[in-house]
Structures are given as structure tokens and as C-alpha cells.
Amino acid sequence: MVEIFNTILFEPIFNLLMAIYHNLPPHDLGVSIILVTFILKLILFYPAWYSIKSQQAMQEIQPKLDALRKKYAGNREELSRQLVVFYRENKISPFSSCLPILIQFPILIALYQVFIAVSRTDPATGILAANQLEHLYQPLSDIYANTAINGHFLGFVDLTQTKNYVLAGIAAVLQLWQSRMLMSQQPKKAKSGGMAQNMSRQMMYLMPVITFIFGASFPAGLTLYWGASTAFQIIQQYLFLRWHKKNIANNGTAEQRPN
């Protein structure tokens, strides 16, 4: 399984990063990370779009779900039956937004390993460790067996070091912005209460804190990736929300399910 994972995900992403770094002046690792993030976001555009669409649909039906839960609060068996009927009639799966995330999860693991690999250079020479060089294709492996990697972004941000609180803070703010964008689209009734909404609001503020803690703990290259990934996600959410409002204006009603 490890070999399959390396062959299908880790090594292609690792070589893509190093190819961009090698061929794009001024050989800035941070710029290369941002470009790789952009390319992967393009590849994963549809799964991410589907996930946003599913979340929006779930938000729009939340008041009706809350009414059902309130009506059958004392009868769990009947509530389960009514929820099944409700989801079937509205053609919505409560797990539809989770599938795209599951699809992207192996790629996130591969990215994590790639950025860890890039940060593992000899402190004295800046050359990649031997066990990382073996994952590079020819001729990249030949080049970087003797060529140092400049692990800096914009010439002064060391992406191999931890405790970069500035990048961690930027990533946390972007995470909060992304969460607030979708929360702001909830119907007024849904915003007023309900367990799901309360949990969503708590997560909206908890996730930036987690992002900051992990961002400061990992090499700055990972934190830069996370911030860039979130920024691209904000752009995609903005495009989706514009499309969604235009669709509502044209049709008169919001879509109730993802296509």
C-alpha cells in the first residue's frame, strides 16, 4: 500500500513541486508551493464545488430539519423514519458533502509528506536527504543530488523552520474568513438556533485556533500551503455564491439539492 501511495500520489506531487522550483526563476520554494497548490485546486475543482453546493443545500433545508426534530423529539424511531422520507423527497444525502472531502484526504496526506520531504535537507549543504532523492525522477534526482535547495520564500521566510507565527496567523484568519462566508448564507431562521447551527458556529471559531496552533508547529512550508489552499477555496466559494445568487434570481427559488 505504501508503494502504491508513493507511486500514485506522493512522487508525482513531489516531482511537480521540484520541476516548478527548478524551471521557474528565481527558484523560490514558496512560489513553487503556491503554484502546486493552485494546480491541485484546479484538479480538485469539481469535488470541492460539489462539497460547497452540498453544504449550501443542507443549510437551506436546516429550518425544516429542525422543525422535524422538534415535532418528533419524543419518538426517535419515528424521527428516523421521517428524516429518511425527508431526505428522499428532497433528493439530498446528509453525507454528500463528506465524499469530496474523503476524495481529497489522500492528496492532503501526500502534500504533507512532500513538504516534509522538501524540508529535510542537510543543514550544512542544503541538499536533499538520500531517502528523499530516491523519489525524484530522472533527471531531477541527478540535479538535486548535488544542488542545494533554497528553502526560503521571497528571500527571507525560511520554510523549513517551525514557529512562524505570522504565516500561522494569516492561515488562521483565512480559515475564519472561509467559514464565515458560508455561515453568512444560512437562512435567518437557521441562524437563530439549533444544535447543528450552534456546533457550526463553534467550529467556525475553533478551526482558526487549531489552524494557528498546527501552523506554528509544522514547517512553514506546510503553513504556507494551508494558507494558499484556503485562499483559493475562498475564491471558489465566492464564485459559487455569485453563481448561486444568480441561479436564485433566474429561477425564483434556491436549489434544494446538488446536481
Q: What is the pLDDT of residues 200-259, one digit of tens each?
A: 667 778 888 988 998 898 888 888 988 998 999 899 888 888 887 787 777 755 444 434
What grid cell was written down for 118? Answer: 522538501
Strand extents, DSSP E, the chain: 152-153, 157-158
Does residue 163 sit within a domain?
yes
The number of C-alpha atoms within 13 Å of 66 and in the hemisphere containing its C-beta is 17
Q: What is the pLDDT of residue 179?
A: 82
Number of domains in the chain: 1
Q: Is residue 259 part of a domain?
A: no
Whether residue 208 lies inside any domain: the answer is yes
Within a domain: residue 63?
Answer: yes
Q: 199 lies in a domain?
A: yes
Q: pLDDT, tens digit, for every residue of 106-154?
A: 887 888 888 888 877 787 888 888 888 889 998 899 999 999 888 889 8
Identity at 23, one-letter amino acid code: N
Q: What is the pTM of this model?
A: 0.76
What is the model's pLDDT at position 23? 92
Q: What is the DSSP letter of 186?
A: S
Among 59, 52, 41, smallest CA distance to 100 is for: 52
Residue 257 lies in a domain: no
Note the pLDDT of residue 95.
67
Point out the least confidently predicted range of 12-16, 52-56, 93-97: 93-97
Q: Strands 157-158, 152-153: parallel, antiparallel or unpaired by DSSP? A: antiparallel
Q: Tell me which residue range forms the domain holding 70.
A: 2-251
Quick one: which of 153, 151, 127, 152 has its CA closest to 140? 127
Q: What is the pLDDT of residues 152-186, one digit of tens each?
A: 898 888 887 889 999 999 999 999 998 888 676 55
Beta strand ranges found along 110-256 (DSSP E): 152-153, 157-158
